[in-house]
Structure 1
Amino acid sequence: MQTMGKIAAAAMAVAAVPAAAAPTTVTVTGTVMNGYDPVGTFGTAGADLAGKAFSAIFTVESKPDSTLTSTATSAYLYGRGAASPVSAALTIGSGTYNFAGSFSGTARASDAAGKGGTDMIYYMAEDTDLSLLPPDNTLFYVFFDSLSNLLSRPDYTAFDTVRPGPADAGQGQARIANYDPATGKFGQSTIANLSIDTIRADVASPVPEPATWAMMVAGFAMAGVALRRRRVDARVRFA
């Protein structure tokens, strides 16, 4: 009986091994204030993007070499190259463009309204072609910086839906530099200046590491063996 209890406790302890950190998805919605799409990145070449609704999903996931700086009122996550912690997908009309954040990415939050500062959210994903001189890039960012108390904590990964008002500077920009492989140059860029209606961050459920899954399976198997032995012992004593 004591052996059974020890094995069951071991299985439960294995199940409690911390899971890997999960990425956060940040959904941003709003309207294009003004913009031009010369090559049809979001549908029709030469389209005026002004007035179109947009939605964007940022994925925030700290990498081993990302830099995280945090205080009582702010948090700042940043990385370049393989350490870049932010990517994004922007949808305008019928088209979606993916920003890998392969050059750099940033997620920032500040909960300082009424504390000598402002409440602020900033997400950025940037891809840059360094082979060009000067370098050209695709860039997408959104932010708000407000004296209003819109955040309950300095956390860019978990908060209720934020709705910046007209005075809260909720805006962003997407710049997509269109590369022409025939000429080896960048042509006209797609530009969209954005007005933000809502921002919401949702943390995904943590996923156990592969090694943790293996330990959990082994632990439950041990518990199962102990249960079978207990039944056999009980039948022998009864006989």
Structure 2
Amino acid sequence: MKAVTKLLIACTALAATAPAQAAQVTGQISIGGYAAPSGSGSFGTASGYDAVIGQGGAANPGVAGSLTAYGAGTGSFAGLSCSNNAGGCGTIADILNFGTFAPTANFLTLVVPGQTVAFDLNSLFDINAMPNALTGGSLSFAGLGTIRFSGYDATPGVFTFTAQGNQITSFSASALAAPVPEPGTWALMLLGFGAVGYSLRRRRSAQGFLPQAA
């Protein structure tokens, strides 16, 4: 029995507040689509997943699946939405085997008229498959990558995936961008550390000259 999974993806990004970092991507967006476990009939024993086109879509290993909807975005994603689009609302690539994963450009893309919105997945971590005879088990993983959005700086992010059951189920994904300190911020931090170190050295030096109790 082929298991089919309904995707629910939430992409989130945070940017630094410094002016030079103001162009980084912020906010989140929810995305829908479908996938099936790869290497097994259930996610609890799967070695990866195969993104398919539509619920009950035929397996097509190595070919990106089609996203069916996205919306409810915040920050940079506010106002973006797509559903019932004949050409699909975007794509998500397969990861058929976690053990042979390689960095994937355009791992996730959204169809946004006149813009590019994509997530490049560079590495995976926290891969966890948990078998369950009653529910079909669950599968989860996370990955580091980069959000690319027209008009914004490329923003580091993390993608997370969870799926459970051996029939229609759901998984979620999020991308979180870590703020990168400005050069001026680094300089202030280093200056602060230096001041603290200098203060500690003076204190220790002063203690060295205290008279000893008789």
Same fold (TM over 0.5): no
Name the structure where strand makes up a greater proportion of residues.
1
Larger Rg: 1
Q: The TM-score by the shorter chain falls in which range?
A: 0.3 to 0.5
